[in-house]
Every structure is written in C-alpha cells, then in structure tokens.
A = this chain, B = another copy of it.
Amino acid sequence: MGSSSKSRTARSTAPQASAGRVLGRATRQRRALLAIIAREARPLSPYELHRLTHREIPSISQSTVYRNLRALEQAGEICAVSIPGQTSRYERAKVADRHRHHFHCRECDRVYDLKGCPGGLRRLLPRGFTLEEHTIVLSGKCEACVN
C-alpha cells in the first residue's frame, strides 16, 4: 500500500510493528489482561475481559480495562475486531496481523477467526475510489450451536 503517510498526523515511531506508541509499565492489571487475551482463541469483549480479569484481580475497574485495551492497541499488542452492530472484541495482534476475517455466531454470540480471504474485492470499488482496507464478517451458527 502507501509507502508514505499522507498529510494526516504523522505517527512516526517504531516502523516495524503495526502501531506507534510504546507500551508503558507492566502492571499487574495489564499483565493479567494481556495474558487472558493471549491464551484465548477468540476475540473478547471489554465486558468479558473485565469479568475474566476480575477473577484474578477483584479490585480491577472497568476503566482500567478500557484504558489498557486502548494502550495495548496503540502499542500494537492487541487488535480490535469490529462486528457490525456489536461492541468491539479484542485479540492478539499476532493473530490479527495475519489479515483475518471473522465469523459471528448468532446463537451464542461468539466471534471466531477465519482463515483466508476471497480476492477480487477491488472490482466492487466505484471509479475514483481508493481501497485501503476491507472487513468481511460471516454469520450463522458455529459448530457448537448447529443442532
């Protein structure tokens, strides 16, 4: 894609990872959050993450979860997964950076990573438009919910 950032805000920091900012202190809360996201196979919502971290650190607040999600995202450690009509879920950046798409189960409301990507999206583009990114979300029932 673009080799130089346009006239927008220059985010010139570490060129290697995805995002710019550097992660700050490794607090107990931040470590717990990251550990849970790392061990989980599917993207988790802030609500789920607060519930899970709360088991280890009962005093953890929702704001801490939100603040850390933002910090971790900016640091390129995690990545937000947006499902239409749903609140964002978060997963490890290593997983997300492989350019994943997602499946949303309408039964259990869980989100799963998918492999692969159908090409040929550029031909959907009207003339004069530029394509920077795309999102594909399949929905239906996951294996556990098909009966």
Complex contact A4–B135 (CB within 8 A): no
- Minimum CB–CB distance for A18 against chain B, Å: 17
B-facing residues in A93-132 (Cβ within 8 Å)? 101, 103, 105-107, 109, 112, 114-121, 123-132
Contacts of A114 in B (CB 8 A): 124-126
Distance of A115 Cα from B126 Cα, bound (Å) = 8
Question: Copies of this chain, how many?
Answer: 2
Is A52 on the interface with B (CB-CB < 8 A)?
no
Stretch of A20-28, A56-64, A66-74, A83-91 that contacts chain B: A83-91
- Which 4 A-B pairs give the minimum distances between C-beta atoms? A82-B84, A128-B143, A132-B140, A130-B140
